[in-house]
Amino acid sequence: MTTKRHYPLIAAALLTAIAIAACGSNRKTAADTPSPATPAETTAAVQAPPFCADSAYRYVKEQVDFGPRVPNTAAHRACGDYLIGKLKQFGATVHVQEADLVAYDNTILKARNIIGSFQPGNRRRVLLCAHWDSRPYADSERDKQKQRQPILGANDGASGVGVLLELARLIQQQAPAIGVDIIFFDAEDYGIPTFHRGAYKADTWCLGSQYWGRVPHVQGYNARYGILLDMVGGRGATFYREPFSQRTAPAQVKKIWDTAHSLGFGSFFPQEDGMEVTDDHIYVYNLTRIPCVDIINYDPQADSGFGDFWHTHADNMDVIDPATLNAVGQTVAAVIYNEK
């Protein structure tokens, strides 16, 4: 008798189904397929379910639509609630870690690390992470006026989370052999701005991962390794090997880069070293000894080493390319579905 009321829900479900069905067209054609590898060279033996780049793109946009996700703002709170809801929708056990974190200028940040665990009882685990906050400043803008305004962080923030939400959807569809923890770290990007007078301090970045590294969401938490996604949606992005990851997680770097090449995404993943960065993977490794690989956009041409959008107002949906989300998403999916 209440069938009518369900029409909007049914329509939404249908739209989702259509969007996901449309993902078939994202899959590689025969022309894109790399020449067949011999069995010994094949890195990806298990076929992962198809990662839907359009779905990941939509999760990026849904975050950006909240506006800048700067700690202590309404948009930040609302987006955090959205992320908790999505992880629950995809069947994860969700832990929300709340913490008051002290910023470089002594502002108390009401922060939340949001963790979605799949197969929490499985002792064989992999950690996937990204930061979900966006930067309160556009301090790479030339115009001084604009430097004090918060950024949308479509690439720097939302892209990694968008890819991980799509992976959560895949995990719900088809369970990999291992348990997976997806961690959305807060307060990564509240680091000391270029216009601040005073000594540079690297520890002003990555406040959420520093907290989690000291107080993991479950006592004695362990995982085989972690993968951090940072700025994984930029058009024409390249992911060079990040030197800290290369030193502390060499086997995992090799596995990820080889997998990308075997899937035909070699142009996104040069087999060369890029720039070492202060990022969440450093704190994950230093505080827990879990090796963690940072997949991060490195642009050898750009002054910052990142894209020209970095910490500017150009970091909006215009820089996001589903093809880049796809390359990263398919690669990480192949890696985790091939864990035994």
Determine how many CB atoms are found less than 10 A away from the CB of residue 262.
17
Task: Indicate whether 279 belongs to the interface with ligand AHN (CB under 6 A).
Answer: yes
Cβ closer to Zn ion: 76 or 135? 135
Q: Of these partners, ligand AHN, Zn ion, none, which one is at the site of residue 95 (CB under 5 to 8 Å by kind)?
A: none
Concatenated DSSP letters for 240-269? PBPHHHHHH-HHHHHHHHHHHHHTT-TTTS
Site for ligand AHN in 51-110 (CB under 6 A): none
CB of 209 to ligand AHN, least distance (A): 11
Does 230 sit near Zn ion (CB under 5 A)?
no
Dihedral, 103, 150, 139, 293 alpha carbons, nearest 10: 70
State residue 278 phi and psi, 5-degree precision: -75, 110
HSE toward the beta carbon, residue 174, CA cutoff 13 A: 12
Nearest by Cα to 30 from 264, 191, 234: 264
Least Å distance, CB 82 to Zn ion, is: 20
Cα–Cα dist 5/103, whole Å = 47
Total number of residues binding ligand AHN (CB under 6 A)? 8
Q: Which stretch binds ligand AHN (CB under 6 A): 87-95, 250-258, 259-267, 274-282?
A: 274-282
Confirm or reject binding of residue 133 to Zn ion (CB under 5 A): no
> Considering the rule CB under 6 A, would residue 299 count as an interface residue with ligand AHN?
no
Q: Which stretch binds Zn ion (CB under 5 A): 72-80, 186-194, 287-295, 325-333?
A: 186-194
Q: What is the DSSP letter of 77?
A: H
* Nearby residues of 224 by Cβ (< 8 Å), 6 or more positions away: 124, 125, 126, 178, 290, 339
186 binds ligand AHN (CB under 6 A): no
Closer by beta carbon to Zn ion, 189 or else 280: 189
- 89 vs 182: CA distance, rounded Å: 14
- Reference 277, options 264, 288, 293, 262; nearest CA is 293
For Zn ion, the closer CB: 20 or 75: 75
Toward Zn ion, which CB reaches closer, 147 or 259? 147
How many CA atoms within 13 Å lie on the side-chain side of 251? 5
Q: Which amino acid is at 285?
A: Y
Binding site partner of 299, from Zn ion, ligand AHN, none, Cβ cut-off 5-8 A by kind: none
* Binders of ligand AHN in range 217-246 (CB under 6 A): 230
Q: Considering only 62-70, 187-195, 198-206, 238-246, which stretch makes contact with Zn ion by CB under 5 A?
A: 187-195
CA distances (Å), 248 to each of 72, 254, 269, in order?
34, 12, 19
Which one of Zn ion, ligand AHN, none interacts with residue 280, CB within 5 to 8 A by kind?
none
Among the residue ranges 25-33, 41-49, 112-120, 273-281, the one whose residues contact ligand AHN (CB under 6 A): 273-281
Of 166, 186, 189, 299, the one binding Zn ion (CB under 5 A) is: 189
Site size with Zn ion, rule: CB under 5 A: 3
At residue 257's C-alpha, the angle toward residues 326 and 90, to 5°, is 40
**Residue numbers 262-301 binding Zn ion by CB under 5 A:** none
96 strand-pairing partners: 114
Q: x/- contact string, 6-45, with Zn ion (CB under 5 A)? A: ----------------------------------------
Q: Is 156 in the site for Zn ion (CB under 5 A)?
A: yes
Q: Which is nearer to ligand AHN, 135 or 255 (CB)?
A: 135
**Rounded to the nearest 10 degrees, how much is the dihedral formed by the CA atoms of 253, 255, 261, 262?**
-170
Residues at the interface with Zn ion (CB under 5 A): 135, 156, 189
Residues at the interface with ligand AHN (CB under 6 A): 156, 189, 191, 205, 230, 277-279
